[in-house]
Every structure is written in structure tokens, then in C-alpha cells.
Amino acid sequence: MQRAAPQEFDRVLSSMCTRPHPAARKAAERFFATNPGDPATYQAVAALEEDALSYLGEITGLSAPHGYVTSGGTEANIQAIRAARNHARDGDPNVVAPESIHFSFQKAADVLDVELRIVPVDDGYRANVAAVREAVDDHTVLVAGVAGTTEFGRVDPIPELTAVAHDAGALMHVDAAWGGFILPFTDHEWSFAHAPVDSMTIDPHKYGQAVVPAGGLLFRDKSVVDSLAVDTPYLESASQASLTGTRSGAGVASAAAAMRELWPDGYRDVYERQQANADWLYDELRARGYDAVEPELPLVAASVPDGQFESLRDLGWRISRTASGELRIVCMPHVSRESLRAFLSDLDDLRSG
Ligand code: 0PR
């Protein structure tokens, strides 16, 4: 029987998954068969989830965080919208978000039957605050901004968006699914410490180097997360706020282990190395005459002709394109300078061939 090779990351350049930290891998193995959704039975993993939550709070500037370890950014975003909708108890709810938002928002709007109002971004790929202000109304339950966009690694003006949300009587959500473990080491204003943000997505299974699945959802106010809870009559714990029932103990334990190991110095080192890689790659691509988007975070987008893109994929490079067609290279922790050099060397061969 043909068996699939284990995941090899050497040529993976456009994914937001990465090689888990060894401590995360080890912790995951120990908790494979546990369920944090039943904390009264699986008490050890429930305690680790508390640890994970306090690390996430520390990273995002929230001293008493409410929330839980989700299956990923999609569940976190769905739940943030659900919480805002339930909290508002409005008849005809809408959510306002920039067009740079991740496609999980479309799923959320569909599942929750909430109107999603998408507004344009500015020339720098950031949410246009004036357009957001135009779009909100009395039925807006949530305004969302992205801190580290999926396509261009941009950070929306979170303090300004938060002011617009609160003026409209809505809650403010920040999607830092990808950027959350990078932004603490930058000057960006993105966190609970920079603005009275109400909820945030931050995923340990992306830049946090935990195993999949481990997302993160945080709330400032307990009453908002409580609006997600349903009664669990036959369990020893009284209620459950998560979307899924049984959850991955491996994901939770690995998230706690990765953050214990890496916060803050390990994450800072990775950020510095990968930002340098992204800046270097940007310069190299520009030197070859490609139009590229300056990397604000470790993510480079560049216009590469379709033929070259396809040939690179045929050579085994795992790369993808933005909606507008740019090649995107996400400098995740596993992406080495050596691998980027090999990539450019293949690109050079294609150009001269
Ligand atoms: N929010 C943002 C800003 C994201 O970039 C993503 C995922 C999500 C939410 C959703 O997170 P989950 O996928 O954990 O639910 N962005 C990645 C992307 O679309 C997802 C991904 C990851 C795609 C690994 C491919 C891949 O190999 O690029």
C-alpha cells in the first residue's frame, strides 16, 4: 500500500501552518484522547487551557481574559460574531468589516444569518475608517478589523475602528489569527492594550507553533462570552460556550506548551528572523524587476507572471496567489533563508530558460 509521506515543510511557502515546536508536539501526544469540552472529567487538560488563556491574555494585553482554545481562526471568528449578535439581541443584525477580512467571515454570516457589510480598503490595503463609519448603523452588532491580513500582512487602524464601533453601540473584534504572535514585537497598535477592543482571534496553530488544531478566542467582558453558553444538563460542568462539543486536548496542551516555551523571547527571535527574510526576499524580487508589496509583517506579495507561477508549482513549491493574482510568500517559522535562495534560484532558471 502506498503511504503518504509525513508533512515536509521545506517547500511550503504560502501556508499559515508550520512545523510545531518539539515541546508542543510532545504535549500533544500526551493529551490525544482528552476532551477539554468536559473539564470536570479531563481536569489536567482543563488546567492547561487556563494556562493557555492567561498566556494569550498576556500576549494581547488583557489581564483577565475570558474565552477558550478553538479549533482555529474560523471557529473563533464565527463565535465572535455569534457572541456579538446574542449580546445585542437585535432583530436585524449586521457586521461591518473591510474587504481584507478572511473568508471565514462569509461562513459566519451564512451560518448565523447576519448581514455582512464589506467595505473597501485604502491604498495601503488597510480598512478605510471613513467607509466603515459610513456603513455602521443602529443594527451593527460588530465591527471587525484585521491585525495581520491573510493576503498582504497589513494591520488595520484598530483604535480608530474601535472608536467607530463603540460610537455606533457595536462591539469591536480584532482578527489577529495570524499576526498575534508577531505584533507584540512591532510598533503597531493592535491589541487590548492599545484600544478597548471587545474580542480577538489569535491562533496558536499558526505563528504560535502549536499543533493543529489550536485557535484562540478572547473576550474582555464575561457577559459577552456568557451569551454563547448553553446548558449541559448531563455533564458535571453546567454549561459550554464553545462551538464544537468534543475538542482537541492535543491542541490545547500543545498551545500551552508552545507558549510556555517561546513567550516572549522565542517568538521575538522568530519574528526578527522572519521579518529579515521577508525584507530580503522583497529586495531580491524587486532587483529582478518584479512589482512587490513592501512587507510590513513577514509576508511578501509580488506580481509574478502566471507561467512562472505554474512552473514553480510544478517544481514542487507550495505557493498560492492573492485574489488579485499576486504570489504570496508567508515567512512562517519553518521558512529558511536557504529555502528562499533555492526558490529564487529556480525562478532565475525559469527566467533565463
Ligand atoms: N483569520 C485570518 C486572518 C486568517 O489568515 C485565517 C486563515 C483565519 C482567520 C482562519 O483560520 P483557520 O484556517 O485556522 O480556521 N488563513 C489561512 C489562509 O487562508 C488558512 C490556511 C492555513 C490556508 C494553512 C492554507 C494553509 O496551508 O491562508
Number of the ligand 1 atom closest to the C-alpha atom of 148: 3
Query: Residue 312, class by beta-carbon neighbours within 10 Å (0-12 exposed, 13-18 middle, 19+ buried)?
Result: buried
Position 51 pLDDT exceeds 80: yes
pLDDT grade for 236, boundaries at 50, 70 and 90: confident
Is the CB of residue 97 below 6 angstroms from any atom belonging to ligand 1?
Answer: no
CA of 233 to the centre of ligand 1 (A): 34
pTM of the model: 0.97
**173-211: pLDDT as tens digits:** 999 999 999 999 999 999 999 999 999 999 999 999 999
d(CA 90, CA 80): 15
**Nearest protein CA to atom 10 of ligand 1, as residue:** 73
CA of 43 to the centre of ligand 1 (A): 30
d(CA 329, CA 94): 33
C-alpha cell at 75: 471557529
Answer CATH for 262-348 from 3.30.470.20, 3.90.420.10, 3.90.1300.10, 3.90.1150.10: 3.90.1150.10
Q: Taking the domains of the chain in order of start, what are their residue ranges?
A: 20-260, 262-348
What is the CATH number assigned to the segment(s) 20-260? 3.40.640.10
Q: What is the pLDDT of residue 2?
A: 59
Is the CB of residue 179 below 6 angstroms from any atom belonging to ligand 1?
Answer: no
Sheet holding 327-330, edge to edge: 292-293, 299-302, 327-330, 320-321
CA of 93 to the centre of ligand 1 (A): 26
d(CA 294, CA 300): 7
Ligand 1 binding pocket mutation candidate from 102, 103, 209 (most atoms within 8 A of CB): 102
CA of 266 to the centre of ligand 1 (A): 22
